[in-house]
Amino acid sequence: MEFIDEELQQYAEEHTSPESELLHKVNRQTHLSVMKPRMLSGHLQGRLLAMFSQMIQPNQILEIGTYTGYSALCLAEGLQPNGTLHTIDINEELEDRVRGYFEEAGLTEQVKYYIGNALQIIPTIDAIFDMVFIDADKINNATYYDLVIDKVRPGGYIIADNVLWSGKVLEKYRKKLDEDTAALLAFNKKVHDDPRVENILLPVRDGLLVARKK
């Protein structure tokens, strides 16, 4: 997942605004007590997501893949006072923990937290999104994209995480072409070839693909 020199990564983080106390708490507790803590967005990526949100000033955000709520808290930093952040996760075991973080952040009224299959839930959400963050099972990235593209306003943004997949999008970094890698390769090409958007792939952490709907 790490693509640059460790000391350069540390330097970048040292010259990035720090996490809030709550984000630091979520980060620490996730690493201490939750499986697969590398799924957490973390400091550098979290600050980037927060800055995107603060620039966009969204009224409606959709997040696909809540995990322990770190990225949702970051995305909410630019949310308009009367706006809503819709976030979906399939893991009900984390629900109480995540709801506790949202309550601590004072976001209970602004966050709609759905537990279940995003493929089934997304079509039921009656909203036009200013910003979508896709960070769930990679096999379904293209399907998530198809489900949300018509729900994003012109000028709105779709951001997908893990699009470099620990470097395995390049043949030299993989032993074989597994199902997830093949899905990501197809997804990256799909977005890049889509005339409805303009896009940039950022080599931040495990790769962020940012698409702006025309």
**Cα angle, residue 93 at apex, residues 90 and 94 outer, rounded to 5°:** 80
Kindly tell me if the per-residue pLDDT of 1 is higher than 70.
no
- Adjacent-strand bridge partners of 111: 85
Asked whether the whole model's pTM tops 0.85, one would answer yes
- The full 3-state SS of 162-177, as one line of letters, equals CCCHHHCCCHHHCCCC
Count of structural domains within the chain: 1
Q: Is residue 58 part of a domain?
A: yes
Confidence of residue 73 (pLDDT cuts 50, 70, 90): very high
Kindly tell me if the per-residue pLDDT of 28 is higher than 80.
yes
Q: Is residue 71 part of a domain?
A: yes
Longest dimension (CA), the chain: 49
Q: What average pLDDT does this structure show over 124-131?
A: 98
Q: Is residue 122 part of a domain?
A: yes
For the ranges 24-38, 90-104, 122-136, the lowest mean pLDDT is seen at: 24-38
Residue 48: give its domain's CATH number: 3.40.50.150
Kindly tell me if the per-residue pLDDT of 60 is higher than 70.
yes
Kindly tell me if the per-residue pLDDT of 3 is higher than 80.
no
Q: Could you tell me which of 17, 209, 202, 27 has the C-alpha nearest to residue 132?
A: 209
Confidence of residue 39 (pLDDT cuts 50, 70, 90): confident
Kindly tell me if the per-residue pLDDT of 29 is higher than 70.
yes
Alpha-carbon distance values, 59 to 67, 84, 128, 134 (Å): 22, 6, 9, 17
Domain that holds residue 81: 6-213
Kindly tell me if the per-residue pLDDT of 4 is higher than 80.
no
Q: Is residue 1 part of a domain?
A: no
pLDDT of residue 201: 98
Kindly tell me if the per-residue pLDDT of 2 is higher than 70.
no
CB 163 within 8 A of CB 209: yes
Strands, E assignment, 91-151: 111-115, 129-134
CB 156 within 8 A of CB 135: no
Kindly tell me if the per-residue pLDDT of 133 is higher than 90.
yes
Q: Is residue 38 part of a domain?
A: yes
Q: Could you tell me which of 97, 44, 34, 116 has the C-alpha nearest to residue 74?
A: 44
Q: Is residue 101 part of a domain?
A: yes
Q: What are phi and psi of 12, to 5 degrees?
A: -60, -45
Q: Is residue 189 part of a domain?
A: yes
Kindly tell me if the per-residue pLDDT of 5 is higher than 90.
no
Q: What average pLDDT does this structure show over 171-186?
A: 93
Kindly tell me if the per-residue pLDDT of 175 is higher than 90.
no
CB 123 within 8 A of CB 148: no
